[in-house]
Amino acid sequence: MAVTSTRASSKPLIEKRSIDYIPEAERHGRLLSQFTLWMGANLQITAIVTGALAVVLGGDVFWSLIGLLIGQLLGGGVMALHAAQGPKLGLPQMISSRVQFGVYGAAIPIVLVCLMYLGFTATGTVLSGQALGQLFGVSDSVGILIFASVIVLVTVLGYRVIHFIGRVASVIGVIAFVYLFARLISQTDVGALLQIRHFSWSSFLLAVSLAASWQIAFGPYVADYSRYLPSKTSSVKTFFAAGAGSVIGAQVAMILGVFAAASANGQFAGHEVAYIVGLGGTGATAALLYFSIAFGKVTISTLNSYGSFMCIATIISGFRGHLNVTRLQRLVFVLVIVGAATLIALLGQHSFLGAFKSFILFLLAFFTPWSAINLVDYYCITRERYDVPALADPNGRYGRWNALGISVYVFGVLVQLPFIATKFYTGPLVAAMGGVDISWIIGLVVPAALYYVVAKKWHSAVPDQLILPIEQDTVDAQPSRAGRIQAV
């Protein structure tokens, strides 16, 4: 523990690494930071609104809470399995997709992930802009610009600052949520709400799907925030630290959303931020709650922007073979990403954003099969035995395009289409399912099973053990393998 603390204190405030492998000498951090980061990322207004949807769309309070919990556990398990890859590989999440899709082929799911997180950043910026507008007495548009400036700063600073913000956000979030729950209980007969029960499978499955999709959406970048942990960190402990933080944070926020929507008498939808703050009071208390809402969105919006930066850098490096990202280039990347999200937020804050958010939710169907393929390959086929240096070599072990992985991925996307239910697109079998979107279940189970069966027979050669780049201080001792030293 002392060594880890010393390492952390010696690291620069501004992160110098991007998508390259993190050498052991630069590893630092504790599992507690995984818990606080993901709790802070989930104790926020969008999670409240997501939970409220279960009731707003007709669900029973009691059964909605049960459905949301089941969804959190299912989706959180998938998310946490990705988190456990970080310390072992020392890499951002999406670059490991080159094992399953090829060095060039990995760009296919990564482009779609970039679009999705761009949309998530935009929608979160709108809610944060509303909160900052109320806090500072300015327009929502000015609030959006203020929030975007903060996101740029934190994203550029990188890993250590993001984890620090996560710790602060978790503390502020716990205080704010305890206070809001206390106020809600004092104003509402929660027991009466729980006793009104009308079970329906469609509403119950909707609650499960809302929570599961929420958790699974973290999959493409969760390992980005565990990759600095020492390589000997227990995978099981990493799984529970990240998973527990995310599940507990999201479930608490969604419970508040369910109770708030159930007691709002139709006043919640369309006035989410104002209604939640109204539960806490007015004046200075309201100002503090607006601040807590905006600060809570800083963590998740920064994760989205940082993850988008990693994805873009991964795409470029895949075709160039190698990419050293300078601090100036990092700033330019982040400005472009956050700038695009801010423009979308400004243009769509009144009307367009609703349709755009539906489009983003539609994109979820494109990376659920990626998650299934990546996890099955890592845990069941290769069993953590990756050739990390080969991830940078189009002519190496993993090649340019992996027809097996790409084919299963495309099939996994297509098989979901009949079951997708969004305003942007609704599949032909949705009505038969009572209007519930179960595409995420199909998108996980079918590609996972198919990939396991075919990869067992036709997967490319798997190394006997995990191969990592040789770190600089070991070159003299092992000159015969010096050629393996390279950034991924």
pLDDT, tens digit, 9 for 90 and up, residues 195-238? 888 898 888 988 998 899 899 989 988 998 999 999 999 999 99
pLDDT-based confidence at residue 269 (cuts at 50, 70, 90): low
Top pLDDT among 79 and 325 is at 79
Q: Which two tokens stand for residue 400?
A: 């340019």
User: Looking at the domain assignment, is residue 263 inside a domain?
Assistant: yes
User: Looking at the domain assignment, is residue 327 inside a domain?
Assistant: yes
Residues 348-357: tens digit of each pLDDT: 777 655 665 6
Q: What percent of the chain has pLDDT over 70?
A: 90
Mean pLDDT in residue range 117-142? 85
Residues 371-382: tens digit of each pLDDT: 999 999 999 999
Closest alpha carbon to 369 in 148, 219, 169: 219
Closest alpha carbon to 368 in 442, 315, 418: 442
pLDDT-based confidence at residue 415 (cuts at 50, 70, 90): very high
Residues 272-315: tens digit of each pLDDT: 777 888 887 777 888 888 888 888 888 888 888 888 888 888 88
User: Looking at the domain assignment, is residue 285 inside a domain?
Assistant: yes
Summary mean pLDDT of the chain: 85
pLDDT-based confidence at residue 360 (cuts at 50, 70, 90): low
pLDDT at site 230 = 94
pLDDT at site 478 = 45
pLDDT at site 455 = 92
Mean pLDDT in residue range 44-63? 88
Mean pLDDT in residue range 114-143? 85
User: Looking at the domain assignment, is residue 193 inside a domain?
Assistant: yes
pLDDT at site 322 = 64
Top pLDDT among 434 and 393 is at 393
pLDDT at site 357 = 60
pLDDT-based confidence at residue 270 (cuts at 50, 70, 90): low
Closest alpha carbon to 436 in 448, 418, 415, 449: 418
- 47 to each of 194, 210, 338, how far by Cα in Å? 20, 10, 21
Mean pLDDT in residue range 131-153? 89
User: Looking at the domain assignment, is residue 396 inside a domain?
Assistant: no
Query: Quick check: 3 pLDDT over 90?
Result: no
Query: Quick check: 176 pLDDT over 60?
Result: yes
d(Cα 129, Cα 139) in Å, to the nearest integer? 8
d(Cα 394, Cα 319) in Å, to the nearest integer? 8
Residues 395-407: tens digit of each pLDDT: 889 999 999 999 9
pLDDT at site 10 = 52
Q: What range does the domain containing 191 cover?
A: 35-362
pTM as predicted = 0.86
Lowest mean pLDDT among 33-47, 54-68, 472-486: 472-486
Mean pLDDT in residue range 146-152? 92
Query: Quick check: 472 pLDDT over 80?
Result: no
pLDDT at site 488 = 41
Query: Quick check: 476 pLDDT over 60?
Result: no
pLDDT-based confidence at residue 332 (cuts at 50, 70, 90): confident
User: Looking at the domain assignment, is residue 392 inside a domain?
Assistant: no
Residues 247-258: tens digit of each pLDDT: 999 999 999 999
User: Looking at the domain assignment, is residue 100 inside a domain?
Assistant: yes
User: Looking at the domain assignment, is residue 134 inside a domain?
Assistant: yes
Tell me how many domains the chain contains: 1
pLDDT-based confidence at residue 330 (cuts at 50, 70, 90): confident
| DSSP state, residue 464 | S
Lowest mean pLDDT among 282-291, 396-405, 428-437, 478-487: 478-487
Top pLDDT among 138 and 485 is at 138
Q: What CATH number does residue 71 fall under?
A: 1.10.4160.10
